[in-house]
Amino acid sequence: MLSKTLIFICLLAVCLTACSRKQKFDRDKWDDGDGLTFAYRPGMVNDLIESKQLNNLKYQQVIHLLHRPQLSSKDSMVYDLDREYSKGKLIYTQTLVVFLKDSVVTKAEVHETHAKKK
């Protein structure tokens, strides 16, 4: 009985580690999702930022690499990474914000927002 429990715990740990593992940026997987959730983005965003692939790209080049953002303005593009809900209310968001000046990327950052507790 003890060995079955130990095997189960080890398998669970391996599965959880694999799910949260950082991944190399992959353009095709980046856009994989249903439009509201994107399974691979949270694991890829650090590689995207650390590799500096976005640095000095023009607006259209970013669109080609990351596809259309969820939000955009003349000075930024916002890509959803992760969202969490509790009892139907949004409690957490994680986004990639790409900052632009004269339609050229100046920096990219991950922003996190937690719902305020009442």
Structure tokens at 32: 């994989």
Report residue 30 CA to chain centroid gap. 8
Rounded to an integer, the average pLDDT of 57-79 is 96
* Mean pLDDT, all residues of the chain: 87
Higher pLDDT, 80 or 34: 80
Residue with tokens 């080609």: 64
Strands 89-101 and 71-73: unpaired
Output the CA–CA distances (angstroms, integers) from residue 98 to 29, 52, 71, 114, in the order listed: 19, 12, 11, 20
pTM of the model: 0.78
Q: How many degrees, rounded to 5, is the angle at CA 111 between CA 46 and CA 45?
A: 20
pLDDT over 80 at 13, yes or no: no
Rounded to an integer, the average pLDDT of 69-98 is 95
Rounded to an integer, the average pLDDT of 34-61 is 93
Fold of 23-114: Beta-lactamase Inhibitory Protein; Chain:B, domain 1 (3.30.1450)
Backbone angles phi, psi at 115, to 5 degrees: -65, 140
pLDDT over 60 at 15, yes or no: no
Query: Domain boundaries in the chain?
Result: 23-114
pLDDT band at 116 (very low <50, low <70, confident <90, very high): confident
